[in-house]
Chain A
Amino acid sequence: MWSSWKLLEDKSEPMASQQFCTFTLQDDCFGVRVPQVQEVIRYQPITPVPLAPVAVRGMINLRGQIVLAIDLRRRLLLGNRADGELPMNVIVRTRNGAVSLLVDEIGEVIEVEESSFEAPPETLRGPVRSMIFGVYKLERKLLHVLDIEKVCQVSEDAEIDSALRPDWQAANSAEALADLPMEI
């Protein structure tokens, strides 16, 4: 029920061209290097964790393993998903174990040329900058490369939290309810 497709750990990754697992967030294209991705699964019921950092949507049950679900939209300070739109889970391997990144849509696995890489522009500031290694210039779009370790260090970003907290709290109750197919 969980895998639309599953990726195996790729040990020999040539540096000249790399494979990225891509996904979209609010029309932007993001990518995580394939070896860092454990698997991609469709929407799972999420148990919210009250008092947790804002970006933490809650926890999911991944075949008996409890995995933290981080909403990348919140984490990257993008707007909330429209009501009824269910996120997908990209399960990544981090130093602190598996973490699920909630994204809008899953894209393809694409191979990119190292030469098309550029560091983030000077104009990109704020906490998000530290979470993006840079971009690959694809033919029609830019592929944002995420630093998943930074992305998953949610507890240390009080800055983002305070930036998001007020309007989130209002949105939260409605959204949390929308998330949960209530089982009574």
Chain B
Amino acid sequence: MDEIVKDFLIESNENLDRLDQELVKLESDPSSAELLASVFRTIHTIKGSCGFLGFGRLEKLTHAGESLLARLRDGEIRLNADVASGLLAMVDSVRRMLGSIQVSGLDGEENYDSLIELLSQLSRPGHEKAEAVAPPSEPQLAGPPSQAAPALALTETGVSEESRAATPSHESHAIDAPETVRVGVTLLDRLMILVGELALARNQLLQFSNRTQDAGLQAVSQRVNLIASELQEEVMKTRMQPIANLWNKFPRTVRDLALNCGKDVRLEMEGQDTELDRTIIEAIKDPLTHLVRNAMDHGIEDAETRQRADKNATGVLRLRAFHEGGQVNIEISDDGAGLNSERIRQRAVARGLLPAQAPVISERDIFNLIFLPGFSTAEKVTKVSGRGVGMDVVKTNVEKIGGTVDIQSTPGRGTTVRVKIPLTLAIIPALIVTCGGERFAIPQVSLLELVRLDDAENRTESRRKGIELVHGAPVYRLRGRLLPLMYLDRELGIRSAADRESNAPATINIVVLQAENHQFGLIVDEITDTEEIVVKPLGKQLQAIGAYSGATIMGDGRVALILDVSGLAQKAKLIWKAHEPAHHDAQIKTQAGSLQQEHGMLLVENGLEGRLAIPLSMVARLEEFPKTVIERTGNLEVMQYRGQIIPLVRLSGIIPCSSDAEALAHTQSIQVVIYAEGKRSVGLIVDRIVDIVEERAPIEPLISGAGIAGSFVIQHQVTELLDIPTIMRAAVPGLMNVVELEATGG
């Protein structure tokens, strides 16, 4: 039998059961508009479905019932025992017809004309006075006598029982043993919670039994372990839905869009049976729809363009879902024009999302730029898409449920967007770490790798293998790239700085994490284990902290916090805020631009900060003076230089750095870098001038702050690139004053 007919039968039988109860209730409370509306809806649904499925006789009967109900609803007639009996008789007849459909696929040969006639009589106002209809007991059914049994004269209590007794025996077999049961979502959620607790109790039991020698206990606990795992799996399955539930609407979407855009597109779907937790299905609905629309609008070209490009006029949009590594992958691929990396780059530059002369970045990184807010490559804004909102929302939504989005494209051949999402959100694999004596869980989806630095590496003189500082911010060189680091204890305020100093561990454990396309290392005390944890929500009071995504209960019964990886990264300002990149990158742009022209860099040292670089194009002269030349005017340090008074700037006053004041006190001379802007000059005091290098190195914009444009590796050392114009402007409020100084001083 047709799947759709089966569904119809199951649903209708459920509805009929409810209808019996509701009609009886309605009779005792005829004024309840709510009950009446519900009854009406049920009958209406059945009528609609059977019209659609071609069960004309059933439709006719339910139509008569519906008309009667409509009258009731509109208050034209009142519900009395006769009307109720009539309706209940209709319910029974409908049930019989459904039984017949179940068996034969047809809605039976019985004649319900008299019942229909009765229903229409009942729906005439004032029938209650016209006694003629009153004992509506002779329906004159033409069918077999057994099926004629639901006499309408029966009392409402009698109706259901007797009519059931009278129903053909095949019906009770077929319908009373349904293969599916509808269960409320809340019950499923409750079951899930209980299974989670069982899993915890199981863990405790296992720990306990491992400590004893009792073979009996060990055997039992093993058995409990197996049963609990299996139960957990099965309960998880009850929450699973095939992705087809979501995809089913796409053929229509694609058809409409194709018409709309004047394109010819064939939709292919693969892996519709792939199952996902229902909460996840709900969460990815909008992102997937958006990706499909996007592929239709921007990806696939119109037939003419395709033919010119030697492609089949019909474009193909392929949806593919499959399991891989405990995650679900969903691919949305089209065989359209592909992404134009040059155009994306230009667009990104035009929008200030990327420096004009940016260091070489990979094609994949360029493609991923389209996930930035405010980015759109569509040449024109269409009704469907192209407004530049969307791809970033797709990404945010997918990441919200612990998923990732990646995009691959070949020009002329097409684009594939791959969305990876976890199977479920309720029980997740997590890495357990300790910090300050407490355990924390880190969701495995954010985890990239673990790095362990032992004592020798950590203390090496060259510091090349250990942790280095960029402007005070710790970094680690992971395969040649700078990985920003954060200390979990520092972020969470678990330990005081002094405590940390005195108890510096011999080994350093770095958990390399990925959050919103940025990688960073989290330094923890110890890495314990990976475990399946049950995620429990945090109370309202703690959600505002932003560092935790939930809590869980460990095998020993203690609570452990689940770290919110992107929240932590944001707390540590490791991730650019959405509104920052434009401004921030503009700085790199100017700096990087001059860098490309000159390549020349002046390397200086300042205090304990390590090396700093100044583009040579910014440097007018290098000078050394005795300390005594420094004079003061107002709160500005100045000196006389070539017949001018020029302001002096100390780096430590601008960028937060720990200048080595003690060492400075001993030196008798100062090193000054003269910076000239037009006719105005400013002197920058540095501790030591190191070198001038001609080196082109990729700038890592990952760590920046006031006065720092970025950092890179020169002569095997992490070096920060100073943002000179910004520093000068900050140090000398209003360079216009300088002009005046020059005028008077000169």
Residues of A within 8 A of B (CB): 45, 47-53, 56, 58-61, 64-66, 68, 96-97, 99, 152-155, 169, 173, 177, 180, 182-183
Q: Is the CB of A68 within 8 A of B495?
A: no
B559 at the interface (CB under 8 A from A): yes
Question: In the bound complex, do residue B542 and residue A49 qualify as a contact, i.e. CB atoms below 8 Å apart?
Answer: yes
- Complex CA–CA separation, A51 to B561 (angstroms): 12
Complex interface: stretch among B260-268, B368-376, B547-555: B547-555
CB <8 Å contact, A61 and B558:
yes
Q: Are B544 and A177 in contact (CB under 8 A)?
A: no
Give A169 to B492 CA distance when docked, in angstroms. 12
Of A56, A61, A152, A169, chain B has the most CB atoms within 10 Å of the CB of A61
Contact A48 B438 (CB under 8 A): yes
Q: Do B547 and A51 touch (CB < 8 A)?
A: yes
In the assembled complex, the Cα of A126 lies from the Cα of B635 at a distance in Å of 43
Residue among A59, A177, A180, A182 having the largest count of chain B Cβ atoms under 10 Å: A59
Q: With the chains together, A52 CA to B556 CA distance in Å?
A: 24
Q: Which of B489-530 contact A (CB under 8 A)?
A: 492-496, 499
In the assembled complex, the Cα of A3 lies from the Cα of B436 at a distance in Å of 31
Q: What CA separation (Å) do A104 and B739 show in the bound complex?
A: 70
Could you tell me if B437 and A51 are in contact, using CB atoms closer than 8 angstroms?
A: no
**A64 & B197 in contact (Cβ 8 Å cutoff):** yes
Chain B residues, Cβ within 8 Å of A52: 541-542, 545
B560, CB-defined interface residue at 8 Å: yes
Tell me if B540 and A96 are in contact (CB < 8 A).
yes
B residues with CB within 8 A of A: 193, 196-197, 200-201, 436-438, 492-496, 499, 536, 538-542, 544-545, 547-548, 551, 553, 556-561
Q: Is the CB of B495 within 8 A of A155?
A: no
Mostly, the A contact residues are mixed
22 A-B pairs whose Cβ atoms sit less than 8 Å apart in the complex: A47-B561, A49-B545, A50-B492, A53-B541, A64-B193, A64-B201, A65-B536, A66-B536, A66-B539, A68-B539, A68-B542, A96-B541, A97-B539, A152-B541, A153-B541, A154-B541, A155-B541, A169-B496, A173-B496, A173-B499, A177-B437, A183-B556
Q: In the complex the two chains form, what is the Cα distance from A183 to B528 in whole Å? A: 14
Shortest beta-carbon distance, B543 to chain A, in Å? 9
Minimum CB distance partner of B557 in chain A: A61
* B499 nearest in chain A by CB position: A173
In order of increasing CB-CB distance, the 9 nearest A-B pairs are A50-B492, A64-B197, A47-B559, A59-B559, A155-B541, A68-B539, A96-B540, A51-B545, A66-B536
Question: How far apart sit A139 and B66, CA to CA, in the bound complex (Å)?
Answer: 72
In the assembled complex, the Cα of A173 lies from the Cα of B499 at a distance in Å of 10
Q: Which residues of A contact B547 (CB under 8 A)?
A: 50-51
Complex partner residue of A68 from B493, B499, B541, CB under 8 angstroms = B541
Choose one: A66, A153, A183; the contact of B559 (CB below 8 Å). Answer: A66
A90–B496 CA distance with the chains assembled, in angstroms: 32
User: A50 touching B493 by the CB < 8 A rule?
Assistant: yes
Knowing A45-B558, A50-B547, A173-B496 are in contact, say whether A61-B541 is a contact too (CB < 8 A): no
Compute how far the CA of A68 lies from the CA of B538 in the bound complex, rounded to whole angstroms.
9
Cβ contact within 8 Å between A66 and B544: no
Besides A153-B541, A154-B541, 4 more A-B contacts (Cβ < 8 Å) are A47-B559, A50-B492, A53-B541, A66-B551
Contacts of A64 in B (CB 8 A): 193, 196-197, 200-201, 553
Does A182 contact B437, Cβ atoms closer than 8 Å? yes
How far, in whole Å, are A48 and B547 apart by their CA atoms in the complex?
13
Residue from A96, A177, A180 within 8 A of B539 (CB atoms): A96
Residues of B contacting A68 in the complex (Cβ-Cβ under 8 angstroms) = 539, 541-542
**A49, B561: Cβ atoms under 8 Å?**
yes
Tell me, rounded to whole Å, the shortest Cβ–Cβ distance linking A96 to chain B: 5
- Which residues of A have CB within 8 Å of B542? 49, 52, 56, 68, 155
Assembled-state Cα–Cα distance A59/B539 (Å): 10
Shortest A38–chain B CB gap in Å is: 15
Q: CB distance A173 to B200 under 8 Å?
A: no
Residues of A within 8 A of B540 (CB): 96, 155
Residues of A with C-beta under 8 A to B553:
61, 64, 66
Q: How far is the CB of A176 from chain B (nearest CB, A)?
A: 8
CB neighbours (8 Å) of A53 from chain B are 541
Chain A residues positioned under 8 Å from B499 (CB to CB): 173
**Distance, CA A99 to CA B541, complexed state (A):** 11
Q: Which residue of A lies closest to B534 (CB)?
A: A64
Chain B residues, CB < 8 A from A99: 539
CA A180 to CA B434, docked complex, whole Å: 15
CB < 8 Å: which of B201, B438, B544 contacts A47? Answer: B438
- Give the nearest-CB partner of A59 in chain B: B559
Which B residue's beta carbon lies closest to that of A65? B536
Question: In the docked arrangement, what's the CA distance between A45 and B196, Å?
Answer: 21
Point out the residues of chain A lying under 8 angstroms from B557, CB to CB. 45, 61
